[in-house]
Structure 1
Amino acid sequence: MKIIRSRNFTATRPWGALDIANMGGITTRLHWTDQPYKWHVNDGEEVFAVLDGRVEMRYRENGVEQSAILETGDVFYASIGTEHVAHPIGAARVLVVEAQGSV
């Protein structure tokens, strides 16, 4: 049993994470960041939920770059093969659910 107060979590580096659970190879991690990640494609699907802050999610569809501003409470689903990168607008805390060891 765990209760995690996401607003209180701060990492020592951008994209630092608190491991919450590993359920049959699917990880749930709380990330803190104030810096962009890198363009990547996950090994599987990814669910990215903004718990605190705002994030500009950039992604490519058919080779064309798109973006969406994710507010607190918004969820981004990256299907297999979705190239994407998260750019926080200030500090943000995000919950990421993905296959263990994914980029």
Structure 2
Amino acid sequence: MRLLVLSIIIVDPAIGSRLPAQCKMRSLASGGKMPLVTKEMVMRKIAPEDFTGTRAWDALDIERFTGATTVRLHWTDKPYKWHVNDGPEVFVVLEGGVEMHCRSEAGTSMFKLASGDIFHAEAGDEHVAHPVGCARVLVIEQEGSV
């Protein structure tokens, strides 16, 4: 997975994922290892093909929600607006492409998301989605988020 704040990427052949060099690992009951996500690794693009578990149904934990959560299918052919969510957001591109622009203390960056890619943002992360043509996306976020 590629992370906004970090630019050094390594490959861990045990799980087949690209990880930041200083990413700590946690052990799984299956004997495999998974990245331990820390607060400095907030906004990120998750490409499903970059994750391979050590056994069937291994999972990459993306977010844990508390309280009322919405799962919504969106269709768009126009950019959204710069915004900051009240809680975490998981954004899955189902069809089409999206350019996800992000702002942080480090500056502005952009992730190119293709069908099947996942974008993750924490509460307080500023971002805006720009579809490339038409796009269908699944958004999982705290109820009432912008």
Q: Give TM class, smaller chain.
A: 0.7 to 0.9
Which one-letter code corresponds to 1:59 in the other structure? Answer: C
Q: Tell whether the 8 Å contact from 2:67 to 2:142 is kept in structure 1 after alignment.
A: no
Is the alpha carbon distance of 1:24 and 1:61 closer, same or farther for their aligned partners in structure 2, counting shifts above 3 Å? closer
* Whole-angstrom distance in 2 between the partners of 1:29 and 1:82: 20
* Whole-angstrom distance in 2 between the partners of 1:63 and 1:36: 23
Report the counterpart of residue 48 of structure 1 in structure 2.
91
Matched pairs, number: 81
In the TM superposition, what is the alpha-carbon distance from 1:62 to its structure 2 partner? Answer: 1.0
Per-residue displacement from partner, 1:36-94 (whole Å, max 9, x unpaired)? 00000000000000000000000012151100100000000011211000000000000
SS state at 2:99 partner: strand
Larger Rg: 2
* Whole-angstrom distance in 1 between the partners of 2:132 and 2:144: 26
* Whole-angstrom distance in 1 between the partners of 2:122 and 2:80: 18
Q: Percent identity?
A: 60
Report the counterpart of residue 134 of structure 2 in structure 1.
91
Unaligned runs of at least 5 residues, structure 2: 1-65
Report the counterpart of residue 67 of structure 1 in structure 2.
110
Q: Greater relative contact order: 1 or 2 (C-alpha under 8 angstroms, separation 6 or more)?
A: 1
Aligned match for 1:28, one of 52, 59, 71: 71
In the TM superposition, what is the alpha-carbon distance from 1:24 to its structure 2 partner? Answer: 5.1
**Over the residues paired in the alignment, what is the CA RMSD in angstroms?**
1.3
* Whole-angstrom distance in 2 between the partners of 1:61 and 1:42: 14
* Whole-angstrom distance in 1 between the partners of 2:140 and 2:86: 12
Per-residue displacement from partner, 1:1-37 (whole Å, max 9, x unpaired)? xxxxxxxxxxxxxxxxxxxxxx951000000000000
Runs of 4+ in 1 over 3 A off after TM superposition: none
Which one-letter code corresponds to 1:82 in the other structure? Answer: D
